[in-house]
Amino acid sequence: MPSCKAASELCVLFSLTAREKADMQYRKKVLEYAHQHEKAADILKIKRYHVPDAKTKSIPTEYVEEDGEEATKGDGRRWEDDRLMAAIAKYGARDAAEK
């Protein structure tokens, strides 16, 4: 597959139709989005904790705890919150303050 530079050189050498130009622009955008997705995935991999492997016997030191707001709630935490909200007794009409 030709690189972006080679593709732009092809545009200069050959007269492309409007459909071919639109297809080339579309493919450039898709390629750019794919590169951005790979970078985002690499960042996520860095932030995660990895269990030490028995073969390497090294403890990962790159793991950094995220702040409370940034940390996503796990399924256990979400379940606990749902159980807590279900346990809280609520009396009276919900629209009583409006009346």
In a domain, residue 35? The reply is yes
The predicted structure's pLDDT at residue 30 = 96
Total domains in the chain come to 1
**Does pLDDT of 88 surpass 60?**
yes
Residue 86: inside a domain? no
Q: Tell me the per-residue pLDDT of 6-50, one tens digit each, with 9 for 90 and over.
A: 666 666 667 888 999 999 999 999 999 999 998 888 877 776 666
Task: With respect to residue 49, please indicate whether it lies within any of the assigned structural domains.
Answer: yes
For the cut 80, the answer to whether the pLDDT of residue 85 exceeds it is yes
Radius of gyration of the chain measured on its C-alpha atoms: 27
Model pLDDT, residue 79? 85
Q: Which domain holds residue 49?
A: 4-67
Q: Is 99 inside a domain boundary? A: no
Which of 5-9, 70-74, 79-83 holds the top average pLDDT? 79-83
88 assigned to some structural domain? no
